[in-house]
Structure 1
Amino acid sequence: MYAQISLRSHVAKGSASFLAATVVLAMAQEWATWALTQRKWWKLIPATFLAIMA
């Protein structure tokens, strides 16, 4: 019984971490796309940082 609760807890934490990483990567993609369309190459630095952190 205890093992099932622990497994559920790990699955919930893993799902939350995956969702957070997905959101951060989506933000990085939007930022990079904006920087490229505006030709502001220095704005790619935060997008790269976000992608690495995810």
Structure 2
Amino acid sequence: MNDRIALVIGNSDYIYVNKLNNPRNDANDIECVLSSLNFDVRKVTDTNLIDLQ
């Protein structure tokens, strides 16, 4: 069992501000780096608080 766990969140679509350009790409890049360092990575993109909980 891997004891190195990472949660990567890449939200770019918000209700009250303009959509951001890079969070999804940034999350993908971070996921790759952490995976190469033997982290068990869980990545979510454009999620809301209820789904995240």
TM range, smaller chain: 0.3 to 0.5
TM-score (norm 2): 0.43
TM-score, scaled to structure 1: 0.42
Which one has a larger percent helix, Structure 1 or Structure 2?
A: 1
More strand by share: 2
The structure showing larger relative contact order (alpha-carbon pairs under 8 Å, at least 6 residues apart) is 2
